[in-house]
Structure 1
Amino acid sequence: MEQFDSRLPELREQRNRVHDICRQFNRSPSKGNLKKLKTIFSRCGDEVFIEQGFYCDYGDRIRLGDRVYINVDCTLLDGGKIAIGDDCLIGPKVQILTINHALSPKERLKKENFCQDVIIGKNVWIGASAIILPGVTIGDGAVIGAASVVTRDLDSNCLYLGNPARMERRLDD
């Protein structure tokens, strides 16, 4: 877990700039605004498509593989790095979070943040309204069911459901 101070002036400025780009895209998701949105990422692979309603904080901590599809109203809170592998399908209203706060009420008054990277393998399908919590790695070919909450690392080629997400079964190739 890495300490992260989102109150630094340079980070507030970057967030404001990226939020403006997201707002422009969400008002008019034309190819021009999609192209502008894609420029904020540390990597944006070929044939990436992002639907209207996309939100992130910094952008330069997000790495998208080839042929990634991000459906409507997705939120990526990218104080830490978010890596999404090739051929991933991200359902509507998915949240991928890298930021956390102290559990202790006294410590929380300091307003410090902590970040942990999220790594999503290749050919992963994340169902509608799923939440991916900080520090999680999801293996290649995994499927996360709608409204599931991923609290820990997930193995490749398995179906996960629930809150917290638990393995339902292995998937055949």
Structure 2
Amino acid sequence: MSELTEKQKMLQGLEYFPSDKSLQQDRANAKRLCQQFNQFDIDDRKGSRKIIKSLFGHCQGAWIEPNFYCDYGYNIATGKNFYANHGLVILDAATVTFGDDVMIAPGVLISTATHPLDVVKRNKGIETAKPIKVGNSVWIGMGAKILEGVSIGDNAVIAAGAVVNKDVEPNTVVAGVPACVIKTIPV
């Protein structure tokens, strides 16, 4: 049996080397597309949407305000009516899946990547990534950070500045560092 590539390891959630040439090329391609998107004529929304559709693995409908950055793009999937305000960063070494009607405020960071606690592995450049899933009708507030492996349930609200490092139940509001439930949303 052949050995897994670094990309296959990354996509399977195993330890991998992000410095691998193939992964570097994938990131460079995504950076070029992000750069094109961020420099697109503001009056040509159709053209900028076309870039996002070619960048993302799956895109049912997205309106993203520039500037936007991601690592790979092909690991990002959006449902219908996805909206992200300025300054969204998605580090998508693993899948990042958004449901329908998701709204993201300015300056949000979503990161699937993490580094080992073991200093020897970390100094070698090893990394792992865990998927992030965002349900339907979620609102992520300004400056929030969503960390690796988190699932956010339908209708949840992430308060501005929250750092989400564990799953968020549906119909809840979370806030703080680390984020915790501050309110239940009546349904």
Q: TM (normalized to structure 2)?
A: 0.88
Q: 1:10 aligns with which of 16, 22, 36?
A: 22
Counterpart CA distance in 1 for 2:128 and 2:25 is 19
AA partner of residue 126 (structure 2):
E
Counterpart CA distance in 1 for 2:97 and 2:142 is 19
Structure (1/2) with the larger helix percentage: 2
The question of whether the paired residues in 2 share the 8 Å contact of 1:99 and 1:134 is answered with yes
% same residue: 35
Deviation at 1:4, TM superposition (A): 2.9
Deviation at 1:85, TM superposition (A): 0.6
Deviation at 1:106, TM superposition (A): 2.0
Larger Rg: 2
Q: Pairwise mapping of residues 18-33 of structure 1 onto structure 2 (< 5 A)?
A: 18-28=30-40, 29=42, 30-31=44-45, 32-33=47-48
Counterpart CA distance in 1 for 2:53 and 2:15 is 27
Partner of 2:177: 163
Partner of 1:71: 85
Partner of 2:76: 62
RMSD: 1.1
Structure 1: gaps spanning 5 or more residues:
none
The question of whether the paired residues in 2 share the 8 Å contact of 1:2 and 1:116 is answered with no
Count residues in correspondence.
172
Deviation at 1:89, TM superposition (A): 0.4
Partner of 2:124: 110
Counterpart CA distance in 1 for 2:135 and 2:160 is 18
The question of whether the paired residues in 2 share the 8 Å contact of 1:80 and 1:99 is answered with yes
The question of whether the paired residues in 2 share the 8 Å contact of 1:4 and 1:79 is answered with no
Q: 2:114 aligns with which of 100, 105, 109?
A: 100
AA partner of residue 2 (structure 1):
L
